[in-house]
Amino acid sequence: MSDSIRSEQEEYFEQLCLAVDGGETHEQEAIEFFEEHSHDADFDAAQWLDIALYHAPDVARGIIDFVDAEDRERSDIAQTIADNLDIAYGDDDCMRFERIIRFALANGVPVDLDVVLDGCNRALDDLEGWANEGTMAPLVQLRDTLLALQSGY
């Protein structure tokens, strides 16, 4: 996520989101935790939204309506995805990233596609020379999807 110091509540929310993603808990628990802490003085809705988007899109679907437009504008999900493409480039990862991006865009969360494309291209450059086409294929597909989204298709 970002380089800022995160609160214990944010850390716990991330753990809840990871548990939801792992099928260990129901997304409603994370959604209720979000709602419970949304009025805390140090609450940063954009940061919490990015945590949910990245780790548990089902939670993001449950909280998106509680995040106002200004906080959605501050989302840094594009950078988070771009920063992780060098280690998360498998088929499942890239399909998940595409779903996250489409969900974000459809719900008023701006996604700087250039940032994600840069991350995609960096990851492809890192794989070039040692990885086979099959290994690179999910990244190539994600890159093609991003280019299509940029051109409005």
- Concatenate the DSSP letters of all residues of 69-118 into one string: HHHHHT--HHHHHHHHTTT--SHHHHHHHHHHHHHHHHTT----HHHHHH
| pLDDT tier, 1 (very low <50, low <70, confident <90, very high otherwise) | very low
Total domains, the chain: 2
Do 41 and 81 have their domain in common?
no
Pick from 17, 40, 75: which residue ends a domain? 75
Containing structural domain, residue 146: 76-153
Do 119 and 138 have their domain in common?
yes
Do 81 and 71 have their domain in common?
no
- Condensed to tens digits (0 to 9), the pLDDT of residues 22-77 reads 999 999 999 999 999 999 999 999 999 999 999 999 999 999 999 999 999 999 99
Do 7 and 57 have their domain in common?
yes
Question: Is 51:73 a contact under the CB 8 Å cutoff?
Answer: no
Do 64 and 16 have their domain in common?
yes
| pLDDT tier, 153 (very low <50, low <70, confident <90, very high otherwise) | low
For residues 87-113, average pLDDT = 96
pLDDT of residue 40: 93
CB-count burial class (<10 Å; 0-12, 13-18, 19+) for 143: buried
Do 139 and 102 have their domain in common?
yes
| pLDDT tier, 6 (very low <50, low <70, confident <90, very high otherwise) | confident
**Is the overall model pTM greater than 0.85, yes or no?**
yes
Q: Which residues contact 102 (CB under 8 A, 6 or more apart)?
A: 149
